Structures are given as C-alpha cells and as structure tokens.
Structure 1
Amino acid sequence: MSPEPSARRSRVVMVEPALTQLTKLTANETHRLDRAIVALSVNPGLGTEVPGTLLRDYADEIDGVRVVYYVTALQTITIVAYVEA
C-alpha cells in the first residue's frame, strides 16, 4: 500500500517591498522568517483576515515574525507583501 500524498504547497512569491525588507534581515531573522513562510505555503489560511481587504496577517509570537500576504483565488500562489522579523 502506498503512502497518502502530502498536501500540495502553494508557491510563495515576494513582491518588491518584501524583497527589500528581506535584504535588511540578519541570517537568524531570515531563518525564522523562512519557517513562517514554509508554514504559510502548507496552510495559507493560517493568518487572520485584514478587514476590508484581501490581505491576511500572520504573526508568529514564538519566532517573532510577521508576514502580510494574500492568496490567489485557487490558493496556488501566496504573495507576500510585507515581512518583519
């Protein structure tokens, strides 16, 4: 019997402001942020909805990171607009 296939991850894309913020992070901050982005790619619904927008806000208090993002209609691409670590 073959194992069940794992859930499909969404592709994560960062827009220019997030990429600029990323270049200012230390290696440790980038590592913590990477864990949050992997979690969002597996479950794009983790963040809370920002009222009146398509944006979602994900904050991981343990790792001290925040990601503002939105997910395409088919949930195949998660677009990151803002990062903070």
Structure 2
Amino acid sequence: MSPEHGPRRSRVVTVEPALTQLSKLTASETHRLDRAIVAISVSPQLGTPVPGTLLRDYSDEIDGVRIIYYVTAMQTITIVAYVEA
C-alpha cells in the first residue's frame, strides 16, 4: 500500500518589497505569516481577486495576516508581493 500524498504545493517566491517587510516582523508575526503562506501555496485560489489586476488578496482574520500575491499561469509558483502581520 503506497502512502497518501498531500495536495501539491506551488513554490513560493517573495519579491523585494515583501522581503523588506518580512525583515521587520517579530518571530511570532513571522510564524503566523508562514502558516498563511503554506495555505496559499496549497490552495492558491484562497485569496480574493483584486479587480483589474492579476493579484489576489488573502487575509486570515484569526492570525491577523494579509498577503497580496499572484500565481503563475501553471499555478506552480506563487509570488508574494506584500505581507502584513
């Protein structure tokens, strides 16, 4: 019997403005943000589309994080443009 595999995750890339924001977060904020990034890497359609753009906006009210991102056409790479925790 072969082991069951979880859903395929997209590779997450963070662009420079988001990297700058990440460097200012506390360890706790980074941990909360990591959970949200894993969620969108598994299910990129979680965020709501930003009208007139290719961007998606994902907010997790429980962890208090927000991520603005877009996903490549093949949904293999999620590019994070903005983070807030």
Q: Tell me, yes or no, whether TM beats 0.5.
A: yes
SS at match of 1:57: strand
Structure 1: which 4+ aligned runs deviate by more than 6 Å?
none
SS at match of 1:45: helix
TM-score by length of 2: 0.96
**Percent of aligned pairs sharing the same letter:** 84
Deviations 1:30-84 (A, max 9, x none): 0000000000110001000000000000000000000000000000000000000
How many residues are treated as equivalent by the alignment? 85
Amino acid of the structure 2 residue aligned with 1:44:
P
SS at match of 2:3: coil
What's 2:76 paired with?
A: 76
TM-score by length of 1: 0.96
- Quote the RMSD (CA, aligned, Å): 0.8
Please, which moves more after superposition, 3-12 or 59-68?
A: 3-12
**Uncovered stretches (5+) of structure 2, i.e. residues with no partner:** none
